[in-house]
Chains A and B, each alone.
Chain A
Amino acid sequence: MPLFWRALVRCMPRDFRVRYGESIALFHRDRLAEALQSGEPASRVWRRAVADLLACAAVEWWYALARRTPSRSVVPFPPRLSAEDRMSIIMQETAQAVRSLRRSVAFTAAAIVTLALGIGSTTAIFSVVRTVLLQPLPFPDADRVVEPQSRKIATGETWSVTYADFMDWRDQHVFSHVAVYQPTQMDLTGPSDPVRVQAAAVSPQFFGALGAAPGAGRVLQQSDYSLDAGYAVVISDRLWRTQFGARPDIVGHAVEINAIKRTIVGVMAPAVRWPIDVDLWVPMRITNELDPDLQRRDNFIFDGVARLKPGATLQSTAATMATLAARVVTDHPDVRGGVTTVPTPVIQAMLGQATPRALWILLGAVGLLLAIGCVNVANLQLARASARRRELAVRVALGASRWRLVRQSLVESGALGLAGGALGVLMAIGMIKVIVAIAPPDVPRIELASLDQWALAFALVISIGVSVLFGLAPALHAVRQRDHLAMGEGGARTSVGRGGARTRRALVAVELALSVVLLVGAGLAVQSISRLRHVDTGFDRRNVLTASISLPGIRYDSKAKVVGFIYHLRDRLAAAPGVKAAGIASASPLGAGGFYLGREMVADGVAPTPANEVSINWNVATPGYFAALGVPLVSGRDFRLTDDSAGTPVMIVNETFARRMFGRQNPLGRRAMSSRDEKVEREIIGVVRDVKYYGASDSSRSLVYVPYAQNNAWHQGIITVRARAGALDALPVVRRELHALDPNIALANVITMDEALEQSMAGDRLVAILLATFATLAMGLAAIGVFGVLSYAVEQRTREMGIRLALGARPSDVRRLVAGETAPMVCAGVAVGLLAAFGLARLARSMLYEIGPNDPATFFGVAITLGLVAVVAALVPARRAARVDPVIAIRNE
């Protein structure tokens, strides 16, 4: 019989094995022999046999343990043990550990729940981290797909690229495939209301760079780009299912997108979407690559994607790109000074910096929580080990070796760890659901997080890992005890030894220190979010509804048509019932939608050099927009209908712009122009208050507003409506007025300004909620730790207390004695924790709003809170010590 088979049989309880082991082996031999004759595959025989024996072993062990047969482990074993006997010893030890854990229900329950909380939280956050950060994107060799980006050398800030740079990379074969694309939104007109979908106009090598194969049909090919070819579109698997009912004959079907008939040539494979939320890909048709706009080196309006050349590495490609970028700097120092280009791995480009940092911080936080849980369980086990000294003494007397004692202790820890892990996995399932539900919508892929085989493996590994960690202290303790006992030192009445008590107190100090770190983190995050919540957004958010529209260029092919439609719609909305004020602008504050153009401006009479330029965000608006949004006009006037292409070019600026460009001078009546592109001098006719443009935590930006009638035809608009009653009540009115003018335009991204504020804080809020939860758990565990250690110490010293009281000590003296035990442990723990937090808090700096990472109030508050919690936890044992009845205490011994 092979070794493997014997190992299987050895999994059985001993008496079953002795009785039937041989019969089972013979059975198996017969079975194999017959399988050979009948043609049954041997693999099937083995598979069935293994499953059968394992199931059988599990059932038999269950019965064996349930019968609680007395342990044989105290019987000294002969010095030489066969492999079989060793196996059986381990089985017995497991059985013994389970029995011993079953005897102390309270201890076991506390330990398992503590571990489950730690392991469960860690597993849940790990699942999210793996899904969002670590899982490769669904492209072949996804680690070779990069996003070329422009980067400011001084700050490391990255952004999109120019078409001219793209042409360099393509023509000099820097990559095996390289493409640019522009994400946009398009209206898909179907049988029902038109829908707005995320789309991308992509250059020819786009799909080659991704390496993405279609699920049906084909991807875009060179012929789709020629100007006389029909219009082609590739759709995502998601769109195919949601909008086209997954109809099998979709390829070749024609659809209307932004008023253009396009033929669906392919459906992408499921899950392949790039950029991450795109549903449509259309060819980006470039009529003339020599167009001066495309030749400009500062026209950063394209996103890039590329696949590394075979044999090239990220580093070698980065070097090539840097060389090319340096040449561009030499040729165009005015616009490209200090700027280089870099290949960024796509996953990094997709996630940015905030999300990974937040997730790693959370993983660190749950790691701390898990560590605290381990310390607590180690402590509980130490206390219990001391209480089981008699058992230990018997076993040592019967000749148990050191290794055996260590093993016994580790086996017990292992059983606890695995039980905690199992419960933790169940908790993790729930936690992942909660995290996904409250996560901000802009975290890519988080909805895919689930308890997969990776998470399970992770949970198993950390369960075993922590078992060893928290099992080590009790195991070493057992060895030390054994040596004491072996030398006849361990009288039944002496205290357990200073060593054990010291270890326990040190562990509690560690626990307190870890809690301080977590509490400081949570304190900072919670204060940050509460400041965000009360932030002054600069405008009156109540009852403001916004929604975006996009006019198809093919029907609205002149500026007159676009402006006519926009102004007409605004007038209708402003006059509609239930609407107090209405306006339309190209972008909404609080990151609620739309698009600001980044431009540079110089004041009148100033040379347009980089030193004189002020970077601004360019917003296009209609009259009435500021009243609708509730932005106060500080000085000057709003736009009028007469501010049109015939009138003087005008603009309204915000306070930051006025301050940056004109200092304390009155900006009204002054002129400024966009120095690099529009080059039209515009007169400032009004100044409005600053608003938070990209979210609640945004800093002050310079912003200028120009009227639609004086801008190039701008086809996008965010309808902004101030309702008389609830913001959402105005939605039907807005829809009705829009469709009265043009029924084929989709109303998309409907959001109230209150919702926009909440959404812009969702990420910070999630982190704050989770950190606060973990910190509260940590504090609870630390309190239990303090309580446990002191209770145990008091119990051990009942006799001593009794004698002290009998000799005339007052209860207050005894209380002071207990306090004396607590104070150094708490102080040391809190002090170490504050130091660690001081060092670690800097990592979270960029996530904090209006609060420094070393905010003294937070640190002080945490120290006081934890100190108070420790005092409360110490109170009960101290009172018990003071109430010891001397007579009973001394007689009991």
Chain B
Amino acid sequence: MPPVPKAAWPEPETLLPLKSVDTLILTMLAAGDRHGYGIRQDILAHSNGAIELEAGNLYRHMRRLESKGLIEPAAPRRESGDDERRIYHRLTPFGHRVLAAEMLRLRALVRLAVSRQIIAPGRA
């Protein structure tokens, strides 16, 4: 899928809210390039094993993210023992902006929850 030309990129807010799986994928990619299985492992670790993505579901979402221009294939790494067919993905700058917008939205939501005393304020 050819990358969407920059001029045609929509405002990040129009893509919100993101699906929770999309948010997770983008967040994991924000920490650095990953291949599909790596993303799964990160999400597993983050959720203490609660969220277990399988290949089809994962790549379905990645395909949508890719077609919207939020992620793109990264240059392959040539580490020893790594399969050369493996495709790494990375966050595009646009993807960064969309993820940030989503996080701001979520932060506003969390603050609302705190003010309504649904949860206690975080320590950090």
Contacts and interface: CB of A to CB of B under 8 A. Distances in A.
A20 B71 CA distance: 14
A16 B55 contact: no
Interface string B38-61: 001000000000001011111110
Given A27-B37, A28-B55, A49-B54, A20 B83 contact: no
Interface residues of B, number: 19
A31 interface: yes
B83 to A, nearest CB: 6
A55 B59 CA distance: 12
Interface in A15-33: 16, 19-20, 22-24, 26-28, 30-31
A61 B90 CA distance: 27
B54 A20 contact: no
A49 B56 CA distance: 8
A328 to B, nearest CB: 73
A60 B55 contact: no
B60 A27 contact: no
A53 interface: yes
Interface in A655-703: none
Contacts of B57: 52, 55-56
A interface majority secondary structure: helix
A59 interface: yes
A24 B87 CA distance: 10
A53 B55 contact: yes
A585 interface: no
Nearest to B53: A52
B67 to A, nearest CB: 10
B interface majority secondary structure: helix
B35 A53 contact: no
A60 B36 contact: no
A57 B55 CA distance: 12
Contacts of B62: 20
Nearest to B1: A19
Interface string A24-45: 1011101100000000000000
Interface string B81-124: 00101110000000000000000000000000000000000000
B68 interface: no
Given A49-B54, A52-B54, A52-B55, A23 B87 contact: yes
A27 to B, nearest CB: 4
A27 B58 contact: yes
A279 B87 CA distance: 70
A534 interface: no
**Leading 5 A-B pairs by shortest Cβ distance:** A56-B56, A52-B54, A27-B55, A20-B59, A30-B37
Given A16-B59, A26-B86, A48-B54, 17 more contacts: A12-B56, A16-B60, A19-B1, A23-B59, A24-B36, A26-B85, A27-B36, A27-B58, A30-B37, A49-B55, A49-B56, A51-B54, A52-B57, A53-B54, A53-B55, A55-B57, A56-B56
30 contacts: A12-B56, A16-B59, A16-B60, A20-B59, A20-B62, A20-B63, A22-B85, A22-B87, A23-B35, A23-B87, A24-B36, A24-B55, A24-B59, A26-B35, A26-B37, A26-B83, A26-B86, A27-B36, A27-B37, A27-B40, A27-B58, A27-B59, A31-B37, A48-B54, A49-B54, A49-B56, A53-B54, A53-B55, A53-B56, A56-B57
